[in-house]
Amino acid sequence: MIQVDANKCLGCFACSNICPNQFITREEEEGKRRTIRWSKCKEECDICVEFCPAKALTLIPYSDSTPEVIEVSFDLVPCEVCKKGFATEPLLKRIRETVPSNLQTDSTGRSWVEICPFCRRELEAEMASKQVVQSRRK
C-alpha cells in the first residue's frame, strides 16, 4: 500500500490520473478548491509512487491500523488576468523554483507562471496577431 506525505504533495493530480484501480480520486470546485483522496490500496503496482513529481508517495507493507482514506485539499491561486483559481500554491512554487527564470516570462517580460493556461493562450494569440499586423505595415 502507499503512504502519503501530505506536506510534500503539490496537488498536481498525476497520481490520480495514473492509478489503474481508481484508489486515488480527486474533486475540484472549479476555480476555488481542489481535493485529492488516497484510499487504502492492497496493490503494489508502484505506478503512482513512480509518477509523483514531489516524491510524496512511498510503498509500504499493508497495515490494518492506517486510515482507510487520506484527504488533502488546496485552495486554488487566482490567475492574474481572469482572477479564476487555476493552480495550487505548492505547484506554482515548484515551477518558480525549478524552471529557469528566463523561461518564466514571455517576450514582453510578463511572468506566465501566475497566468492560467487559457489566458496565456489568449495573450499569445493577441500578441501573434499584433506582430502579423505590424509586419504587414512595414
Binding site for ligand SF4 (CB under 6 A): 2, 9-15, 19, 21, 23-24, 36, 41, 43, 45-48, 52-54, 56-57
Q: For residues 1 and 123, which CB has a smaller minimum distance to ligand SF4 in the complex? A: 1
CB of 113 to ligand SF4, least distance (A): 17
For residue 106, the SS3 value is coil
CB of 48 to ligand SF4, least distance (A): 3
- Residue type, position 41, single letter: C
Q: Among all chains, which residue has been given the C-alpha cell 503494489?
A: 44
Q: For residues 13 and 113, which CB has a smaller minimum distance to ligand SF4 in the complex? A: 13
31: left (phi over 0), alpha (psi -120 to 50) or beta: left
The answer to whether the CB of 122 falls within 8 A of the CB of 111 is no
Q: For residues 36 and 115, which CB has a smaller minimum distance to ligand SF4 in the complex? A: 36
For residue 76, list its beta bridge partners: 88
CB of 30 to ligand SF4, least distance (A): 18
Q: Among all chains, which residue has been given the C-alpha cell 515548484?
A: 94
CB of 8 to ligand SF4, least distance (A): 7
